[in-house]
Amino acid sequence: MKIKIKPFISKLLLLIIFSSTACQQHIDTSNDRPNIIIFFTDDQGYADVGCYGAEGFETPHIDRLASEGIRFTNFYVPATVCTPSRAGLLTGRYPKRYNLHEAVLFPFSEGGLSLNEYTMAEMLRDNGYSTSIIGKWHLGHKEEFMPNNQGFDQFYGVPYSNDMDNYYYKHIDFQSPPLPFYRNKTLIESGPDQDYLTQKYTEEAINQIKNRSEKPFFMYVAQNMPHTPLHASPAFIGKSEKGLYGDVIMELDWSVGEIVKTLKEQNIYDNTIFIFTSDNGPQMGSAKPLRGKKAETWDGGQRVPAIVVWPSKITKGVVSSDFTTTLDLFPTLAKIAGSKIPENLKLDGLDISDYLLHPEATKLPERPFYFYARNGEIEAVRMGKWKLHIQKSIGWNLNKNGSFPVSLYNLDEDISEKNNVVDQFPEVVEQLTKMMKEIETEL
């Protein structure tokens, strides 16, 4: 009798163990949460990607990425230059809310992103994600403001723009040091060879993916290029028809391809959200058919290429003209990751997760979006198809054209902001002007 019972008991014990393990796996949903990669370029224009109309160079990897998810054609950043744009991305809030909306931070600056701000990295880390930034920080180079104190477990890169490398600021008699290169809080190099920055960041991203922990990860790949001075590795010099600028973009495209390839090799691509976009309009590249460029509140300064891919969830090959911004990424990723947002945190972005998952069945609401100039002053507002400009500090020639006239554009019909219809729609001007006054009072 005992001989017959023992196999039964053994099988029963195995069944109990298996059932218990299966139950534990079902309850623990951490493995279901997606990895998140934000690939953020510097000064890459609206038309500096093949699928957005690039000329003189090709971006096959980014184009392929666009075919595997959603490509946005009405995607904006909350500033015309580096520092405030990056701040908005990581906080989901207009930079004016924490006084980081004017110009950019320099090697002689004393401030940075307030530690009172709750960053995307903190939000995700608090929910069990490992977090890393690879590349350019530009939100304060003093130790208290650096990435490891702002929610990032790992930092590999530089604290500010590549043009600040060993630069002399005559107006204040300040000599900046050779560009510092950090791993976490340790300075590992001064004045790195910028020809290899894109390559080094790519290799670091690949190494981190291959050596990841069991946690889901958030990786912020903030490339220095194509910010001037332009640099590309020898393998990409002469690749494009557009000279060095095209070479630089093609290397960035290669970088996207290498990271995606690694995700696929590691069998985690399907459950990774990959977001590609730029911090503002181009200094040297193209924003066609948009008007303006970097540092200007014309659309060319703040409407940028943007692609979101999540192979297991997002429909392939969608081209969206719905209005969206980097401010939306904070609440959207919080919802997708199951993170809690503090009740008293005032966000300026919108949770667009339903739209990402069901773009054909979801309509995003119209909402105002405010354009702050490099000098920190509000210059324009967009609501639906309408965009109203009330002043211009950059992007308007006073000597040639006289003082700037209040201007209203229908962006649905006039993407290049050429036909001022301010006299035809006084009620729209009144409504948008009121909105600008209200947000200024609030902020």
Verify that 167 and 224 share a domain, yes or no.
yes
**Whether 93 contacts 119, CB under 8 Å:** no
Q: Does residue 432 lie within any of the structural domains?
A: yes
88 membership: H or E segment, kind and range = helix 82-91
Distance of alpha carbon 395 from alpha carbon 275, whole angstroms: 30
Verify that 324 and 247 share a domain, yes or no.
yes
User: What is the pTM (predicted TM-score) of this model?
Assistant: 0.92
Tell me the HSE value of 52 on the side-chain side, using a 13 A CA sphere.
30
Q: Does residue 275 lie within any of the structural domains?
A: yes
pLDDT in tens, 185-199: 999 999 999 999 999
Verify that 199 and 281 share a domain, yes or no.
yes
Domain boundary residue, one of 298, 323, 357: 357
Verify that 49 and 124 share a domain, yes or no.
yes
Verify that 383 and 253 share a domain, yes or no.
no
Verify that 66 and 116 share a domain, yes or no.
yes
Neighbours of 369 (CB within 10 A): 19
Domain boundary residue, one of 322, 357, 392: 357
Q: Does residue 155 lie within any of the structural domains?
A: yes
Verify that 228 and 130 share a domain, yes or no.
yes
Domain count along the chain = 2
133, β-bridge pairs: 155, 220
Q: Does residue 372 lie within any of the structural domains?
A: no
Domain boundary residue, one of 302, 329, 357: 357
pLDDT of residue 21: 36
| Structural domain boundaries, residue 418 | 377-442
pLDDT of residue 6: 42
Q: Does residue 347 lie within any of the structural domains?
A: yes
Verify that 152 and 299 share a domain, yes or no.
yes
Question: Residue 186: what are its φ and ψ, rounded to 5°?
Answer: -100, 125
Distance of alpha carbon 285 from alpha carbon 278, whole angstroms: 12
Spans of the chain, pLDDT less than 70: 1-31
Distance of alpha carbon 435 from alpha carbon 429, whole angstroms: 10
CATH of the domain at 428: 3.30.1120.10
pLDDT in tens, 48-101: 999 999 999 999 999 999 999 999 999 999 999 999 999 999 999 999 999 999
Question: Residue 430: what are its φ and ψ, rounded to 5°?
Answer: -65, -45
Verify that 384 and 352 share a domain, yes or no.
no
Verify that 265 and 327 share a domain, yes or no.
yes
pLDDT of residue 19: 38
Q: Does residue 237 lie within any of the structural domains?
A: yes
Verify that 274 and 386 share a domain, yes or no.
no
Verify that 323 and 401 share a domain, yes or no.
no
Residue linked to tokens 């947002």:
341
Instruction: Give catalytic residues, as residue numbers.
Output: 82, 138
